[in-house]
Amino acid sequence: MSGNNAGPIRVRFAPSPTGFLHVGGARTAIYNDLLRQRLGGAFVLRIEDTDRARSDEAMIQQICQGLEWAGIPWDEGPILQSAGVERHRAAARRLLDEGKAYPCFRTREELDAARAEKEKERVIFRYREVFEPPSEEEAKRRIDAGEPFVVRFRMPAGPVAFHDLVRGDVEFPEETQDDFILLRSDGSPTYHLSVVCDDIEMEITHVIRGEDHLSNTPKHVPLFRALGGQVPVFAHLPLILGSDKKRLSKRTGATSVEEFRDQGLLPQALYNALALLGWSPGEDREILTRDEMVELFSTERLNSSAAVFDRDKLAWLNAHYMNQVSFEEILERVQPFLEAQGLAGFEGDKLERLHRVLALHRSRAKTLVELAEMAPAYFAEEQTYEVERCGKFLKQPQLPAWLETLKARYGAAKSFDLETLEAILRELATEVEVKAGVLIHPVRMALTATKAGPPLFDVVEVMGREATERHLANFIAFLQRHAVEAEG
C-alpha cells in the first residue's frame, strides 16, 4: 500500500471554528497524528474560517486547547485559512487566464429556474449543458462594465477517479460533476478553492478527513491538477454515529472533547477510545498508549463502515486509566473537580489526608468527577444519616453499646494504624460473639454515611482518631434517637 512506508509526510487537520472540538474531528486528528508520528513529517493545524467575516479568537483557542488536552500535538499552525484569501483569489485569476475557469454572470434566479427545470426532467443539472459560458470578449466587456459574476471551474471531460486509502478505488461519472464555483460574486473564495490552494501551498501529502468530504473529492482532484499541484493521497474516514445510529449529536450525549474533559474523563481514555473507533491494531489489543498505537498504526487497518460511539467502552477505558496513570497525574487532573467540591488550598495534615483519600478511591471512581465527590465526606464536620439506609443497624439493639465500646477503645488506642484498628474491632467482635461484619458495616456508615467503599480500616485510619470518635458518637446518638422513635 502506498503511503505507509513513504517516509516523511505532511498531514493537516482543518476544523472550522465552531466553538468546540467535536469528537469526530478529534478522531480525524488522532489518525492524522498517528500517521504523522508513524512516518515522520509534519502535522499542520489549519483553521477553516473562510465563511466567517472574522474568526473568533476564542473559538480558535478552544480548538487548540481541545487538541492539547486530548494529547494531539501539531507541528505547524494554527494557520487561518482566511489569511490566504489573496493567494486563493490569485489562483482563481490564473485559472481564468488559462481558460480553466470562466466567469458566470447568471443570477441566482436563472440558476434556480434551470435547476428546477432539470429536476422536473429528472436529469442532473450541469451548467454548461444549459448555459453557454461567455466568450472572452463578452466576459471582458461585462467585467469592465462592473457586472457581478462568479468564477466557475471548467470541469475537465471524463470521469474522475482516485484511490482512497480507506475506500479503495472510487470513480465519479463525468455527468455527475458540474462546473462548481471558485469565487463568489463578492470575490471571496469558496471552500473548495481554499482547501485545494492551501493543501498545495502547505505541500500536504496525505489528506485524512471525514467521509462527508468523499463527494467533494472529485471536485478537488481536477482542481489540484489544474493548479499544477501534486494530488495528495486521500483517506476518507467513516462517520461516527450516536446510539440512535444517526450522525453523532447532542441528543445522545456529549459530542465535544471539552464536554468529556468536564465529565472528568482522562485524555488517555478518550484518545484510546476514539482511535479504536474505526481502527484496530489487530491481535485483540484494546488498551494501548499513544506510543504503542504509533508503532502499530497502518491505514490498511482503518475501517470503512460507520461506527456507533460506544460510551460504555469509553467509561471502561477511563476506569482503567484511572488506575494506570501516575498518582501525580491524578492529583493534577482532579484539582479543578476538587475545587468544585469546595476542597482547595489544603496544606499539611489536611493535604496529606486528601492525598490518601484520593489514593484510596481512585480505583473505585470511574471518572475524576466521581473521585472528587468521594472526598468531602472525609472532611465533613458531621455526616448526614438516613433512616432508610440504616434499617439493618436500627434492628440491632446492642449495636449502640458495642459502638460505644469501640469508640472508647479507638480513643485509647496507643497507635492508630491499620493493624491496631483491625485488631481492636475483631477482638470486640469476638467478645460480643458477632461476626466482624456486624460491626464493620455500621462503622462504615458512621464514618462516611455510605454502605460501600474502601476497606474499612483504611477509612478509619485516614479519617483519624478525632473524626472517628466524633462520627461514632453522632451515629450512636442517631441510632438511639431512632430506636426510641421505633419503640414509641
Q: Which one of the spans 72-80, 306-314, 335-343, 480-488 is the region binding RNA (CB under 7 A)?
A: 306-314
Q: Which one of the spans 69-77, 136-144, 235-243, 350-358 is the region binding RNA (CB under 7 A)?
A: 235-243
- The single residue among 140, 247, 350, 389 that binds RNA, judged by CB under 7 A, is 247
Residue that the C-alpha cell 447568471 belongs to: 106
User: Is 350 an active-site residue?
Assistant: no
- The single residue among 320, 355, 356, 409 that binds RNA, judged by CB under 7 A, is 320
Number of residues that bind RNA (CB under 7 A): 79
Q: How far is the CB of 195 from RNA (least distance, A)?
A: 8
Candidates 250, 392, 395, 435; catalytic one: 250
Q: Closest CB to RNA among 316 and 346?
A: 316
**Residue 282: φ, ψ to 5°:** 85, 180
- The single residue among 121, 186, 291, 381 that binds RNA, judged by CB under 7 A, is 186
Report the site for RNA in 347-366 (rule: CB under 7 A).
363-364
Q: How far apart are CA 28 and CA 16, in angstroms?
A: 13
User: Could you tell me which of 262, 226, 269 has the C-alpha nearest to residue 98?
Assistant: 226
Q: How far is the CB of 347 from RNA (least distance, A)?
A: 29
Q: How far is the CB of 487 from RNA (least distance, A)?
A: 28
Contact status, residue 105 vs residue 148, Cβ threshold 8 Å:
yes
Q: For residue 176, which amino acid is it? A: T
- Number of CB atoms found within 10 A of residue 275's CB: 21
- The single residue among 316, 346, 379, 416 that binds RNA, judged by CB under 7 A, is 316
Asked if the bond preceding 78 is cis, omega within 30° of 0, the reply is: yes
Report the site for RNA in 406-445 (rule: CB under 7 A).
436-437, 440-441, 444
Q: Does 215 help bind RNA (rule: CB under 7 A)?
A: yes
What 8-state DSSP symbol labels residue 76? E
Q: Does 86 help bind RNA (rule: CB under 7 A)?
A: no
Indicate the helix (H) or strand (E) that contains 271: helix 267-275
Report the site for RNA in 117-146 (rule: CB under 7 A).
122, 124
Alpha-carbon torsion angle 221, 224, 226, 228, nearest 10: -140
- The single residue among 411, 453, 473, 474 that binds RNA, judged by CB under 7 A, is 453
Q: How far apart are CA 195 and CA 198, in angstroms?
A: 5
Q: Is 322 helix (H, G, I), strand (E, B) or coil?
A: helix
- The single residue among 168, 342, 345, 348 that binds RNA, judged by CB under 7 A, is 168
User: Could you tell me which of 148, 119, 118 has the C-alpha nearest to residue 130?
Assistant: 118
Q: Which sequence positions are flagged as catalytic?
A: 250
